[in-house]
C-alpha cells in the first residue's frame, strides 16, 4: 500500500487545513474564505481555534457586570455608558428608589442590579409642550396635568382618584409592566382601587387573568384585532363581551373596593344585568334603551364585600367593570390587547371611544405601542409614513376624548431574531418606529419615553436573552424582564415628577437628613472599628415602637455586625416579657409588686422606661442577662432604683450572692432621687436580683448589663402610648441622673406616632416639650448627639364603614419634628417616608406577609425588621460617607 493510501485520512485532514488557509489568504469574497482575518495578517481565528479560552468571553457590547456589592450599594452616577443624566431638579436616583418605601426597596434594588447586568439604562422622560408662553417658553409641559393631581394627592387636597389609562399590546396584556408601575404609584400616592377589569381575557385561554373577571364560557368576544374588525362597536378598551340567549355569569374579586362601575352598551333589544355582592342582590341594570350608545352604571358595594357576581340575560354588550376604593389614590388601568397597533386601535368606534375614555376621566394616558408596527416594518408590510399617520390619528383621538389629560408615548422595545446558528441578532424596525413615535408625541404635546434605549438599545436582545429575560420568541419579555421595564418606566416617571416639583417641594423625603449632626458619633464608631477598642452608647427614647424592642433589636444586630456588641444595655423592671428573650434577657417579679407608669401620674420620678416598680416586703425582682453566653468577658451591671425617705430595705444579689443592702448606712436619705449602683463580675452570664426586706416599699427602675469589650450598647427605653409630653413631665434632674449613668453618645428620639393621633395637638407645646427634654439630655451628656426619628405612618378608623384615614395631626407633626431637629442640631430620619409615605401603613397591612398591625399604628415583627433595616442602612451609609476616602 502506498504512503498516500496508507495515510489517506491524515492527509485528508492536512489537505483540508491547507486548503482552508490558502482560501483565507486569497483575494476572494469573504463567504469563500474560511478564516477571514488571516489575510490581514491576524492569526486570531486559528489561535482561538487551537487555544480556546476557558473563560466566557464577554460580548463586545456588554457593559461590565457589577458585583452584587457594587450593584446594591448606592448607585454610582459616574457611569456615563449606563446612566443617562437625570433631569434638572430631579432627585438623586437613590432618593427616587427610597421613595418606594422600605418594603419595596429590596425588590427595586434587585431590579437595579439586573438592569446593570443587562445594560439597561435610566432614560429620562422627554416632555413635549402643551402650551407655550408668549415669550416662547413652555408654560405647560406635557405631564403637568398629571403631576398637579399627584401633588394634590400628596397634599391630601384631592378627594377623587387620579386615573391612568395605559394602552398597549401583548407587553401590556400580561400586566407585568403595568403591574409594577401600578403598585409603585399606589405605594407612593395611595391606592384608589383595582381600576378597569375586562370580563374575560380578550383571547380566551391565553395570558394571565389578573385583570379580568372569572367568566362563564358562553360570552362572545369581539375585539379590534379580530380579522376584519370587531363584530360589535368597541370603545377605548378595544374589546367587548356579548351575550345573546343563554344567561352568562362573571365574578369579580372586589375585596377593598367600594364602588363598581359597569361599562356597557345600550341597545333597543338589550337584556339586563343582575348584580350580587357576596350572593346578595345589589342592583339590576336594564340595557334596553331606544338608542345604541355607551352607558355606565355605578353601584356602591357593601362594606367588606368580597365577590361581585354579574348575570347577564338576553342581549348584553358589556365592556368591563371598574372597581374603585371610593377615595383618593391612584387607579391604574391596563388596556392591553395582544397584537394591538395604533392602526388597529383606530378600529374602535370613535363615539364609544370618546364617551368611554371621557367618562373614565384619566389624568394620564400612556400609549405603549409600536412593537407590532416594528415587526410589520421589518417585513416591509408597513412604512414609517403609514405608522406616523396611525399614531397621529390615535393621539388626536385620545386628545379629543380627554383634552385635559396628559399623554405619554413610549417607543417599542427591541426585538430579536435568531440566526440559523442559533445566534440572536437585533430585528430591524424598532429604531425607525421609535423615531416616528417620538416625533408624533412631541408634536402633539405629549411626553415620550424611549423604552428601546432604556432596555439597552438595539443590541440589548442578546443580553436580555442571555439573562433569560426574554421568551424564546425574542419579542416578549418574561415576567422578570417585564418587571424590569416597569421599574425603569416608574423611576423615569418619578424623576420627572420630582424634577417638575423642583426637588425642594418634597415635604417628607426619605433618608437621613443632616448627617453632619452625627459627626462625633461617626468618629467614635470609626475609632471603634479601626482600633477595636472603646464603647459607643446609644439610647433610644420613645413610645411603643421602642418599647416593643423589635425595632431596636434589629438595629442593635446591624450595628453589632459592624462594630461589635458591648452588651444588651438597660432593661426596665417588669414582668416576664417574651420580647426580651430574643436578646438573651429575662426578667421577672416575684411576690407583691405594683408597676406604675408615667401615663397615670403618681409622682414625677420615673425610671428611663417611664415606670416604677414598687415591691412590698418579701417581693423580689430578677434580671437575667446574657442567658446563652458562655464567654469569660468581665461584666458591668447597673441597678437603677428610687432612693427616698421611708423606703424599705432591700438586698442586691448577683448570681445568688448578696452584694449590698440599701439604704446603706453611709448616708442618710433626705429627699427622693434616682440612684444607680454599679457592680462588676467575671463572666458574661449573670442574674441580678433585688429582694425587698421591708418594712417600707422599694421602688426599682431597672438594670443594665454591659461587657468589658469594644462595641456598641443600644438601650431601648420606651413607654407604650407615651409622647414627648410624657417624657417632659418626668422629674428632669433624676432623668438626667439616670441618663448620665448610661453614658450615651447618641440619643435617638422616636416619638410622634401618638402625637399624630392628637387632633388638638399644640405644636408650640410640643416644641417646648422637646426644648425641655433636650436641656436634660444636654445636662446628662454634654457631648452626646441626637437623631430624631419621625413617626411611622398612622391611620385611624372613622367608624363609618371601617374607612381608615390619616391620623389627624400627622401632616403637622412630621415637618415640626424636622424643624425641631434642625433647631437643636439633630439629624432627622422619617420613618413614614421610609415606609413609603402617606397611607403606607395600610399598604404594609395588605402585603402577603403583613408588615403592619390591623390597628394601623403598630407594625408586625416583620414590619419592624423592614423598618429597622432601612434605618440601619441609612445610618451606616451616612457613616460610610463620613469616612475619609480610603477608609470607606
Partner 1 sequence: MLFHSLQFLAFFAVVFFGYWLVARWRLPRLWVLLGASVAFYAAWNPWPLLLFAAYAVINRVTSRVLERVTRPAARKAALAAAVTLQLGCLCLFKYGNLFLGTSGWLLRRLGIEVQTPVLDLVLPLGLSFVTFQAISYLVDVYRGQVSGRHSLLAHLTYLLFFPTVVSGPIVRAKDLLERFDQPPSLDPVDGAQGLFRMAMGIAKKLLLADVLAAGLVNPVFADPTLYTSAECVIAAVAYSLQLYFDFSAYSDVAIGAARMFGFPLPENFDKPYHARNLFEFWNRWHISLSTWLRDYFYIPLGGNRGSKLQTLRNLFLVMTLGGLWHGAGWRFALWGGIHGGLLVLLRIWWWIRGRPKSYGIVGTTFGIATTFSLVVLTRIFFRANDVPQALTFFDRLLEFTPGLANVSPLLWATLIGAGLAYLTPRSLFDRGAELFAHAPIPARAVALVGLGLLLRQVSGIEVQPYIYFQF
Give the shortest CB-10-to-partner 1 separation in angstroms.
6
Q: Give strand ranges (E) for 177-293.
A: 195-198, 214-215, 220-223, 239-243, 248-253, 259-265, 272-277, 280-286
Applying CB under 8 A, the span of 48-56, 267-275, 356-364, 574-582 interacting with partner 1 comes to 48-56
Q: Which of 148, 288, 418, 526 binds partner 1 (CB under 8 A)?
A: 418
Q: Which of 32, 139, 155, 505 binds partner 1 (CB under 8 A)?
A: 32
What's the alpha-carbon Rg for the chain, to the nearest Å? 34
420 binds partner 1, rule: CB under 8 A: yes
The order of strands in the sheet holding 686-694 is 586-590, 620-625, 686-694, 649-654, 657-662
Nearer to partner 1, 376 or 874 (CB): 376
Nearer to partner 1, 6 or 245 (CB): 6
**Per-residue contact flags (x/-) with partner 1 for residues 468 to 497, judged by CB under 8 A:** ---xxxxxx---------------------
26 binds partner 1, rule: CB under 8 A: no
34 binds partner 1, rule: CB under 8 A: yes
Give the three-state DSSP class for 43.
coil
Give the shortest CB-6-to-partner 1 separation in angstroms.
7
Give the shortest CB-75-to-partner 1 separation in angstroms.
31
Give the shortest CB-418-to-partner 1 separation in angstroms.
4
Nearer to partner 1, 159 or 383 (CB): 383
Residue 484 C-alpha cell reads as 424590569
Applying CB under 8 A, the span of 27-35, 160-168, 717-725, 729-737 interacting with partner 1 comes to 27-35
Terminal Cα-to-Cα distance of the chain (whole angstroms): 77
15: left (phi over 0), alpha (psi -120 to 50) or beta: alpha
31 binds partner 1, rule: CB under 8 A: yes
Applying CB under 8 A, the span of 43-51, 306-314, 637-645, 690-698 interacting with partner 1 comes to 43-51
Give the shortest CB-25-to-partner 1 separation in angstroms.
13
Give the shortest CB-435-to-partner 1 separation in angstroms.
20
* CA atoms of 594 and 586, how far apart (whole Å): 19
Contact 405, 365 (CB under 8 A): yes
Place of cell 377589569: 197
Q: How buried is residue 425: exposed, middle or buried, by Cβ count under 10 Å (0-12/13-18/19+)? A: middle
- Residues within window 169-208 making contact with partner 1, judged by CB under 8 A: 170, 203, 205-207
Q: Which of 210, 282, 346, 417 binds partner 1 (CB under 8 A)?
A: 417
Q: Which of 147, 198, 252, 375 binds partner 1 (CB under 8 A)?
A: 375
Q: Which of 132, 298, 379, 576 binds partner 1 (CB under 8 A)?
A: 379
Give the shortest CB-677-to-partner 1 separation in angstroms.
47
- Residues within window 324-343 making contact with partner 1, judged by CB under 8 A: 338-339
Q: Which of 20, 676, 681, 883 binds partner 1 (CB under 8 A)?
A: 20
Nearer to partner 1, 170 or 186 (CB): 170
- Residues within window 213-272 making contact with partner 1, judged by CB under 8 A: 225-227
Nearest to 146, CA basis, from 391, 471, 496, 512: 496
* Total binding residues toward partner 1, as defined by CB under 8 A: 55
Applying CB under 8 A, the span of 370-378, 539-547, 611-619, 664-672 interacting with partner 1 comes to 370-378
Applying CB under 8 A, the span of 414-422, 484-492, 498-506, 585-593 interacting with partner 1 comes to 414-422
Applying CB under 8 A, the span of 45-53, 435-443, 753-761, 809-817 interacting with partner 1 comes to 45-53
* CA atoms of 711 and 730, how far apart (whole Å): 30
Contact 292, 265 (CB under 8 A): yes
The conformation of residue 278, written as its DSSP 8-state character, comes to T
Residue 423 C-alpha cell reads as 445566534
362 binds partner 1, rule: CB under 8 A: no
Applying CB under 8 A, the span of 419-427, 648-656, 736-744, 797-805 interacting with partner 1 comes to 419-427
Give the shortest CB-48-to-partner 1 separation in angstroms.
8
Q: What is the DSSP string of 476-499?
A: SB-HHHHHHHHHHHHHHHHHHHHH
49 binds partner 1, rule: CB under 8 A: yes
Nearer to partner 1, 421 or 533 (CB): 421
Q: What is the DSSP string of 762-822?
A: -HHHHHHHHHHHHHHHHHH-TT-EEEEEEPPP-EEE-SSTT-EEE-TTHHHHHHHHHHHHH
Nearer to partner 1, 124 or 230 (CB): 230
311 Cβ contact list (under 8 Å, min separation 6): 247, 248, 249, 273, 274, 276
Nearest to 875, CA basis, from 825, 828, 815: 828
* CA atoms of 456 and 411, how far apart (whole Å): 13
Q: Which of 5, 56, 632, 800 binds partner 1 (CB under 8 A)?
A: 5
156: left (phi over 0), alpha (psi -120 to 50) or beta: left
Give the shortest CB-221-to-partner 1 separation in angstroms.
12
Q: Are strands 535-542 and 746-750 parallel, antiparallel or unpaired?
A: parallel
Contact 377, 370 (CB under 8 A): no
Residue 327 C-alpha cell reads as 377615595
Q: What is the DSSP string of 709-768?
A: SSEEEEEEEE-TT--HHHHHTS-HHHHHHHHHHT--SEEEEE--HHHHT-TT--HHHHHH
Nearer to partner 1, 334 or 341 (CB): 341
Q: Which of 367, 415, 727, 866 binds partner 1 (CB under 8 A)?
A: 415
Q: Which of 56, 291, 380, 419 binds partner 1 (CB under 8 A)?
A: 419
The CA–CA distances, whole Å, from 168 to 22, 175, 348, 567, 776 equal 55, 10, 14, 58, 61
Applying CB under 8 A, the span of 8-16, 138-146, 496-504, 651-659 interacting with partner 1 comes to 8-16
209 binds partner 1, rule: CB under 8 A: no
Residue 132 C-alpha cell reads as 407655550
**Per-residue contact flags (x/-) with partner 1 for residues 275 to 314, judged by CB under 8 A:** ----------------------------------------
Give the shortest CB-16-to-partner 1 separation in angstroms.
4
Q: Are strands 280-286 and 272-277 parallel, antiparallel or unpaired?
A: antiparallel
* Measured torsion, CA atoms of residues 697, 569, 739, 691, in degrees rounded to the nearest 10: 10
Helices (H), 620-731: 724-728
Q: Which of 113, 378, 386, 594 binds partner 1 (CB under 8 A)?
A: 378
Applying CB under 8 A, the span of 418-426, 452-460, 577-585, 858-866 interacting with partner 1 comes to 418-426
Helices (H), 58-169: 68-72, 93-98, 105-117, 144-155
Contact 483, 111 (CB under 8 A): yes
* CA atoms of 294 and 231, how far apart (whole Å): 16
Applying CB under 8 A, the span of 50-58, 97-105, 241-249, 643-651 interacting with partner 1 comes to 50-58
Nearer to partner 1, 6 or 132 (CB): 6
Nearer to partner 1, 173 or 444 (CB): 173
Give the shortest CB-187-to-partner 1 separation in angstroms.
30
The CA–CA distances, whole Å, from 248 to 206, 288, 308, 317, 549 equal 20, 17, 14, 12, 55
Nearest to 172, CA basis, from 377, 381, 372, 349: 372
Give the shortest CB-862-to-partner 1 separation in angstroms.
18
Residues lying near partner 1 in the complex (CB under 8 A): 4-6, 8-13, 15-20, 23, 31-32, 34, 48-50, 52, 54, 170, 203, 205-207, 225-227, 338-339, 344, 372, 375, 378-379, 415, 417-423, 425, 427, 471-476
Amino acid at each position: 500500500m502506498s504512503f498516500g493510501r496508507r495515510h489517506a485520512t491524515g492527509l485528508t485532514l492536512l489537505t483540508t487545513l491547507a486548503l482552508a488557509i490558502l482560501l483565507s489568504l486569497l483575494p476572494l469574497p469573504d463567504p469563500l474564505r474560511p478564516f477571514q482575518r488571516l489575510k490581514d495578517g491576524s492569526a486570531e481565528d486559528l489561535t482561538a481555534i487551537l487555544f480556546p479560552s476557558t473563560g466566557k468571553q464577554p460580548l463586545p457590547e456588554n457593559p461590565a457586570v457589577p458585583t452584587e456589592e457594587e450593584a446594591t450599594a448606592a448607585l454610582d452616577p459616574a457611569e456615563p455608558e449606563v446612566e443617562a443624566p437625570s433631569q434638572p431638579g430631579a432627585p438623586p436616583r437613590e432618593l427616587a428608589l427610597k421613595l418606594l418605601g422600605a418594603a419595596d426597596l429590596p425588590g427595586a434594588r434587585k431590579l437595579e442590579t439586573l438592569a446593570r447586568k443587562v445594560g439597561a439604562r435610566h432614560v429620562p422622560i422627554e416632555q413635549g409642550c402643551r402650551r407655550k408662553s408668549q415669550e416662547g417658553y413652555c408654560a405647560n409641559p406635557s405631564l403637568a396635568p398629571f403631576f398637579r393631581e399627584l401633588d394634590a394627592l400628596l397634599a391630601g387636597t384631592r378627594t377623587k382618584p387620579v386615573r391612568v389609562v395605559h394602552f398597549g399590546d401583548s407587553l401590556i396584556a400580561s400586566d407585568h409592566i403595568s403591574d409594577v408601575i401600578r403598585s409603585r404609584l399606589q405605594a407612593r400616592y395611595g391606592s384608589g382601587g383595582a381600576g378597569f377589569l375586562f370580563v374575560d381575557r380578550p383571547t380566551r385561554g391565553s395570558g394571565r387573568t389578573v385583570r379580568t373577571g372569572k367568566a362563564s364560557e358562553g360570552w362572545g368576544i369581539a375585539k379590534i384585532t379580530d380579522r376584519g374588525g370587531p363584530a360589535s362597536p368597541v370603545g377605548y378598551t378595544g374589546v367587548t363581551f356579548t351575550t345573546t340567549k343563554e344567561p352568562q355569569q362573571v365574578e369579580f374579586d372586589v375585596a377593598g373596593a367600594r364602588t363598581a362601575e359597569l361599562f356597557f352598551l345600550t341597545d333597543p333589544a338589550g337584556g339586563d344585568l343582575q348584580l350580587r355582592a357576596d350572593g346578595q342582590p345589589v342592583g339590576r341594570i336594564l340595557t334596553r334603551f331606544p338608542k345604541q350608545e355607551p352607558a355606565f352604571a355605578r353601584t356602591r358595594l357593601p362594606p367588606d364585600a368580597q365577590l361581585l357576581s354579574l348575570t347577564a340575560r338576553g342581549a348584553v354588550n358589556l365592556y368591563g367593570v371598574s372597581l374603585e376604593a371610593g377615595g383618593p389614590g391612584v387607579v391604574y388601568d391596563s388596556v392591553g390587547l395582544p397584537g394591538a397597533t395604533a392602526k388597529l386601535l383606530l378600529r374602535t368606534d370613535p363615539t364609544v371611544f370618546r364617551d368611554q375614555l371621557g367618562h373614565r376621566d384619566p389624568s394620564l394616558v400612556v400609549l405603549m405601542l409600536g412593537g407590532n408596527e416594528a415587526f410589520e416594518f421589518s417585513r416591509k408590510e408597513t412604512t414609517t409614513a403609514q405608522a406616523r399617520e396611525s399614531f397621529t390619528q390615535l393621539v388626536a383621538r385620545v386628545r379629543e376624548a380627554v383634552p385635559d389629560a396628559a399623554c405619554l408615548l413610549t417607543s417599542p422595545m427591541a426585538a430579536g431574531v435568531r440566526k440559523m446558528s442559533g445566534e440572536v441578532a437585533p430585528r430591524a424596525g424598532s429604531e425607525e418606529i421609535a423615531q416616528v413615535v417620538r416625533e408624533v408625541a412631541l408634536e402633539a404635546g405629549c411626553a415620550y419615553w424611549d423604552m428601546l434605549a432604556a432596555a439597552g438599545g438595539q443590541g440589548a436582545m442578546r443580553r436580555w436573552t442571555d439573562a433569560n429575560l426574554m421568551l424564546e420568541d425574542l419579542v416578549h419579555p418574561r415576567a422578570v424582564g417585564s418587571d424590569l421595564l416597569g421599574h425603569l418606566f416608574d423611576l423615569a416617571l418619578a424623576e420627572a415628577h420630582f424634577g417638575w416639583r423642583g426637588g425642594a417641594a418634597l415635604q417628607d423625603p426619605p433618608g437621613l437628613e443632616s448627617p453632619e449632626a452625627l459627626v462625633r458619633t461617626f468618629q467614635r464608631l470609626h475609632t471603634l472599628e479601626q482600633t477595636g477598642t472603646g464603647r459607643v452608647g446609644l439610647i433610644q427614647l420613645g413610645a411603643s415602637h421602642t418599647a416593643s424592642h423589635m425595632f431596636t433589636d434589629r438595629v442593635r444586630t446591624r450595628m453589632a455586625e459592624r462594630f461589635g456588641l458591648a452588651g444588651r444595655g438597660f432593661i426596665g423592671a417588669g414582668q416576664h416579657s417574651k420580647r426580651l428573650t430574643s436578646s438573651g434577657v429575662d426578667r421577672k417579679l416575684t411576690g407583691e409588686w405594683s408597676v406604675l407608669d408615667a401615663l397615670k401620674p403618681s409622682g414625677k420620678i420615673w425610671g428611663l422606661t417611664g415606670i416604677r416598680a414598687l415591691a412590698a416586703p418579701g417581693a423580689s425582682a430578677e434580671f437575667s442577662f446574657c442567658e446563652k453566653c458562655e464567654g469569660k468577658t468581665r461584666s458591668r451591671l447597673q441597678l437603677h432604683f428610687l432612693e427616698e425617705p421611708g423606703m424599705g430595705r432591700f438586698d442586691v444579689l448577683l448570681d445568688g450572692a448578696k452584694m449590698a443592702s440599701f439604704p446603706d448606712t453611709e448616708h442618710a436619705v433626705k429627699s427622693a432621687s434616682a440612684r444607680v449602683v454599679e457592680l462588676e463580675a467575671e463572666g458574661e452570664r449573670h442574674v441580678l436580683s433585688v429582694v425587698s426586706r421591708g418594712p417600707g416599699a422599694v421602688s426599682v427602675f431597672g438594670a443594665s448589663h454591659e461587657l468589658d469589650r469594644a462595641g456598641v450598647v443600644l438601650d431601648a427605653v420606651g413607654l407604650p402610648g407615651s409622647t414627648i409630653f410624657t417624657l417632659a413631665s418626668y422629674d428632669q434632674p433624676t432623668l438626667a441622673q439616670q441618663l448620665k449613668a448610661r453614658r450615651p453618645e447618641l440619643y435617638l428620639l422616636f416619638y410622634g406616632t401618638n402625637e399624630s393621633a392628637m387632633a388638638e395637638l399644640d405644636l408650640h407645646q410640643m416644641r417646648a416639650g422637646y426644648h425641655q427634654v433636650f436641656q436634660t439630655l444636654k445636662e446628662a451628656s454634654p457631648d452626646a448627639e441626637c437623631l430624631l426619628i419621625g413617626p411611622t405612618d398612622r391611620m385611624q378608623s372613622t367608624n363609618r364603614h371601617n374607612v381608615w384615614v390619616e391620623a389627624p395631626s400627622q401632616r403637622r407633626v412630621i415637618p415640626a419634628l424636622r424643624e425641631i431637629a434642625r433647631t437643636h442640631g439633630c439629624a432627622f430620619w422619617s420613618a413614614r417616608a421610609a415606609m413609603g409615605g402617606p397611607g403606607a401603613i395600610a399598604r404594609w397591612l395588605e402585603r402577603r406577609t403583613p408588615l403592619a398591625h390591623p390597628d394601623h399604628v403598630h407594625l408586625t415583627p416583620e414590619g419592624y425588621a423592614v423598618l429597622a433595616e432601612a434605618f440601619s442602612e441609612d445610618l451606616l451609609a451616612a457613616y460610610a460617607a463620613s469616612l475619609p476616602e480610603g477608609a470607606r
